[in-house]
Chain A
Amino acid sequence: MNAEMILSVSQLHQHFQINKDLTIKAVNGVSFNIRKGEVVGLVGETGSGKSTVARSIMGIYPATQGEVYFKGNKITDKKVYHQNKEDIHNNMQIIFQDSAAALNPRMTVAEIILEPIIVNKLMKDKNKIQQKLDSLLLEVGLDHTYKNKYPVEISGGQRQRVAIARCLSTSPDLIIADEPIASLDVSIQAQIITLFQKLQREHGFSFLLIAHDLSIIKFICDKVAVMLNGRIMEIGTTKEIFSHPAHPYTQSLLSAVPVPDPIYERSKVLIDYDVKSANEEAEMVELSPKHSVLNNFQSFVLQKSY
C-alpha cells in the first residue's frame, strides 16, 4: 500500500436491522482514499449515510461488510484494531455534527481540551501541559481568559472552537469533521475554514470534511465524493466535480446551492433529480484518472475526458 495513504475505505457497508421487517441500508459499498495532507469532502443528501461512514471509520459500529485501512492497518479487523488502538485513538480524531452541544457541561474549557492528553497519558509534565493548552487556544483563536469558563458561558462558535482545539490536542494524522461549521454564522465560518487551511498547510493534517455547504467544499477540498442513498455517485478532484459534474444528482446538487443574490435566486431553475430513475445494478466508471461516476442513470453516455 502507498506509504502516503492515510485512510483507505473499501466497499464499506453498514446496515441497521431495526426489526424483522425493516433494515436500513445506511451505507452500501463506499470506497475512497485519503492521502497525507489531503482534504476530502463528503457531500450528499440528508440521510445518505455520511455520518454513518464517519462513525464506521471510527469503529463506533462494526462494519456490516467491507474494509477500512488506517495508515495501512486493516482496522475493521478486530485484532488489528486492538493492536493499533493507541495509534488510532491518538491519530484519528472526529468533530461530531453536534460537538459543540455535546461538550461536558460540568468541565471547564481547559479540562475539555486537555482530556485526550490526560486520558491517553501523552504528557506528564504539568508545565508542558499548560504550555500545550496555551498554544492550542491560540491556534483556534481563543485567548487564555476562556480557560476557566464552562460551555454555557460561551457562544456556539466559541464552543465549536473548543471542540476543534480538543481534537487537535493529540496532533492527529486524520481529522474527520462532520458538519463542523453548519451551525455557525458566516464570519465565524470564515475564521474556522481559515484555521483548517492553516493547520493543513502547517502541520500536514489530512481531513475528511462532511458538509452540506458546497461553497465551503469548493473552497477548501482537494477531492469531493458525492453520496446518495448510501453510495458514492461521483468522486473526483474538486475542480473536475465543480466544472464537469457528470452525474445528474451532482448536477442537481450544484444547481441548488443558494446564491446570496435575491433576483438571481428567485428566478433560477433547479435541476431536479428523480432517485427512482436510477438503476440498482451499476458500477463506477472512470471518466479520467481524477474523476469517476456511478453508471446508474439511463441517459449516460460514456464520455472520457481524456
Chain B
Amino acid sequence: MAEPMLQLKNLSVSFDTKNGEVEAVRDVSLTLNKGEILAIVGESGCGKTVMSQSVLKLLPKTSRIKQGRIIVDGEDITDYKEKEMRKLRGGVLSMVFQDPMTTLNPTIPIGKQITESIMKHNKISKEEAKKRGVEMLNLVGINQPEEMFALQPHFFSGGMRQRCVLAIALASNPKILFADEATTALDVTVQAKILNLLLDIRDKTGISIVFISHDLGVVAKIADRVAVMYAGKIVEIGTAADVFYDPRHPYVWGLMAALPSLTKAGACLATIPGMPPVMLNPPPGDAFAVRNKFALAIDYAEMPPMYEISPTHYAATWLLDEKSPQIKRPILLKRMDQ
C-alpha cells in the first residue's frame, strides 16, 4: 500500500513585489509516496524551485502561501514556524540546491562543513562524523576524499562542488530529498553514477525524492512519476511511461520536440515559439494558449480542469474534453526497443 510522505493540496504561492503580485505557484496538488521518485520538469520560471522551497519554507519574506496545505509524513506543516522547520530541515527534509555555492560557505573547508552538518542532526562524535563524511565523499565519487577534506570550495570544480553538496544532503539520512538540478553540473558518466547511487539509496532506505530537472533524459532514467509544470501549474502528471510515451498536453509535445538528441545533427531544432508568461498577471485561461498552435477558443477564456486519462495519468488541456475536436498528435518518441 502506498504511503504518502508529502502531500500538496491546492497550494498557491505568491510574491508581493512593487509591481504587484507574482503568482509563482498556482493551485498545485500532488502526492509523493514513500520510496518514490517524482520528477518536476518545465521551462525556466515555471515555479519548480518556488514550489519545493515553499515546502522547506526557505522563501524570502515577500512570499506567502496564498492557499492550500502542505503535509509531510502525515503532519500538516503549513503553519510551522522557523523553529519547528529548523528541526525538519536537514533531518526529515533535505535538499540540494540549483547553485551549490549558495549551500557551501566559501571560507570553510569542505570537510568541516560536512562533519558539522552530520553532527547537527546525529548524536555522534567528531571522529565518527569525519569518518562518515569521508565515506559520503567517497560514495559520491570524489577521488582522494581525505586530501580534499581540508580544502575550501574554490579549489573544487563546478561538478565536484555539486557532489559535495549531495554528500551533505544525504549524510543526515533524510526521508524526503529535494534535488533541484542536482546533476546538471556533472558530466554524463558521473551523472549516471550519481543517478544510480540515488536509485540504490532509494532501494535501501526507502527515501522519497522530488527531482527537479530540465534534462528529460535524466528524468527518463530516474523518475517513477513525472509532473510537468507550466506557468505555476501542473499541466500533466503521470508515470514516466505515461508522460514519455503518451503525452497529452501540447506543451509536453513541444518539450519533447525540442530535444537535440532526437534530432539529426545539422537539422534545425524545434523550438516552442514565444516566451513563458510573466507571472504578474497570468492570463485568465490556459497560460500556454498563446504559444499553442492547437489552442481552442475556450483556452483563452477558461482554465482547463485536470482530465483523468487513466488512474495514474492526468492532464490539464481542453483538448481532452469530449466536446473538443480530435487532434492528431505530432509524432514524438520512437521507443528505442521497437
Contacts and interface: CB of A to CB of B under 8 A. Distances in A.
A213 B259 CA distance: 11
Interface stretch (A64-72, A132-140, A254-262, A289-297): A254-262
Interface string A1-33: 000000000000000101000101000000000
Contact of B220 (A22, A186, A194, A261): A261
A219 interface: yes
A271 to B, nearest CB: 9
Contact of B271 (A24, A45, A155, A194): A194
Nearest to B223: A262
Given A46-B159, A260-B216, A260-B219, A188 B188 contact: no
Interface in B151-196: 151, 155-160, 162-163, 181, 184-192
B258 A187 contact: yes
B224 to A, nearest CB: 10
A214 B262 CA distance: 12
B216 to A, nearest CB: 4
B191 to A, nearest CB: 7
Contacts of A47: 156-157, 159-160
A24 B158 contact: no
A183 B98 contact: yes
Contacts of A193: 260, 269
A97 B218 CA distance: 20
Nearest to A229: B143
A148 interface: no
B324 to A, nearest CB: 25
Interface in A245-279: 252-253, 256-267, 270, 273
B259 A260 contact: yes
A143 B217 CA distance: 32
A216 interface: yes
Contacts of B276: 155
A263 B241 contact: yes
B337 A185 contact: no
B185 A218 contact: no
B185 A46 contact: yes
Contacts of A51: 157-158
Interface in B228-271: 240-241, 244-245, 254-256, 258-263, 265-266, 268-271
A182 to B, nearest CB: 6
Contact of B191 (A98, A219, A258, A260): A258
Interface stretch (B42-50, B82-90, B298-306): B42-50
A193 B158 CA distance: 22
Contacts of B336: 259, 261, 263-264
A102 B262 CA distance: 32
A191 B271 contact: yes
Contact of B244 (A184, A186, A261, A270): A261
B187 A258 contact: no
Size range of the chain B interface in the assembly: 35 or more
A262 B260 CA distance: 17
Contact of B261 (A44, A156, A260): A260
A156 B45 contact: yes
B269 A194 contact: yes
A46 B240 contact: no
A214 B188 contact: yes
Contact of B258 (A183, A186, A267): A186
A212 interface: yes
A265 B220 contact: yes
Given A188-B43, A189-B258, A263-B336, 12 more contacts: A155-B44, A184-B44, A186-B258, A194-B271, A219-B269, A253-B189, A256-B191, A259-B217, A260-B261, A260-B333, A261-B336, A262-B221
Closest 5 CB pairs of A and B: A46-B159, A258-B217, A185-B214, A215-B261, A264-B336
Interface of B: 41-45, 98-99, 147, 151, 155-160, 162-163, 181, 184-192, 214-221, 223, 240-241, 244-245, 254-256, 258-263, 265-266, 268-272, 276, 333, 335-337
22 contacts: A22-B147, A45-B189, A47-B157, A51-B157, A97-B185, A98-B99, A179-B185, A185-B42, A186-B214, A189-B260, A212-B191, A215-B259, A218-B261, A219-B265, A257-B188, A258-B188, A259-B261, A260-B219, A260-B259, A262-B221, A263-B337, A264-B335
